[in-house]
Amino acid sequence: MAMLIPLFGSIARIKVLALFMLNPASEFYLREISQRTGLPVRAVERTTKALLEIGLLRRESRGNNVYFSVNRKFPILPELKAIFLKTVGLGDRLREALSEQEDIEVAFIYGSVARDEEDLESDIDLFVVGEATLHSLTPVLSQMEDELGREINATVFSEEELSERVKRNDHFVKSVLAAPKIFLLGDEEALQSVVRV
């Protein structure tokens, strides 16, 4: 999180942004944001005001509460979300957990989360390439599901199996490889080197 301070200006802004970027389909009122981020209400007021001014958040009054939610039409929302997923959110926790496992060459999130189309019930689609097996990853993934409060659907291929599926023009593999991805381990270059084997 510290590496984001120069980019976003303050720890308060990072915490509020993280809350909204990791829960883009949710809405929160001021005290709820304060409770969930551990920030004083005054800091939350300043931060939400700034985010409203740039158009990232929307505001709606209902009863005695003012609710804030993400403006899904904000021009750089997918990029912002990717930054938070990779650094302080789902991606960070998944990256940390997967990096402790041996035999993973490449791992990435795909599907609705990577396309910025998820809702409150969306699961996390995870694609793993390496010698790890689904069986060996199950304890880690179960722990992550509990911690993140989201179901994780993992697809695991060895390098050889993935390469073979690409050669056979496997529809599922081709569609995943062509779709948006949020890399947790490795990168597009590492993935392409496996696919070309």
Q: What is the pLDDT of residues 19-33, one digit of tens each?
A: 999 888 899 999 999
The set of residues, in sequence order, having a beta carbon less than 8 Å from that of 2 and lying 6+ positions away, is none
Nearest one of 23, 16, 58, 24 to 41, comparing CA atoms = 16
Compare 155 and 79 and report the one with higher pLDDT.
155
Coil vs helix vs strand at 76: coil
12-46-53-21 Cα dihedral, nearest 10 degrees? 30
Residues of the chain with CATH 1.10.10.10: 2-70
Compare 174 and 115 and report the one with higher pLDDT.
174
Residue 89 has pLDDT above 80, yes or no: no
> pLDDT confidence of 79, banded at 50, 70, 90?
confident
Over range 96-121, report the average pLDDT: 85
Over range 89-104, report the average pLDDT: 84
Residues of the chain with CATH 3.30.460.10: 89-195
Fold of 89-195: Beta Polymerase; domain 2 (3.30.460)
Tell me how crowded residue 122 is: count the other CB atoms within 10 A of its CB. 14
The pLDDT assigned to 86 comes to 64
The set of residues, in sequence order, having a beta carbon less than 8 Å from that of 79 and lying 6+ positions away, is none
Percent over 70 (pLDDT), the chain: 91
Distance CA(38)–CA(99), nearest Å, equals 29
The pLDDT assigned to 51 comes to 95
Distance CA(186)–CA(139), nearest Å, equals 22
Residue 3 has pLDDT above 80, yes or no: no
CATH for 2-70, options being 3.40.50.2000, 3.30.470.20, 3.40.50.1820, 1.10.10.10: 1.10.10.10
The pLDDT assigned to 22 comes to 83
Compare 31 and 86 and report the one with higher pLDDT.
31
Distance CA(12)–CA(132), nearest Å, equals 38
Handedness of CA 152, 158, 160, 161 (dihedral sign): negative
The set of residues, in sequence order, having a beta carbon less than 8 Å from that of 103 and lying 6+ positions away, is 130, 131, 132
The pLDDT assigned to 11 comes to 87
Instruction: Please tell me whether the overall predicted TM-score, pTM, comes out greater than 0.75 for this model.
Output: no
Over range 130-149, report the average pLDDT: 87
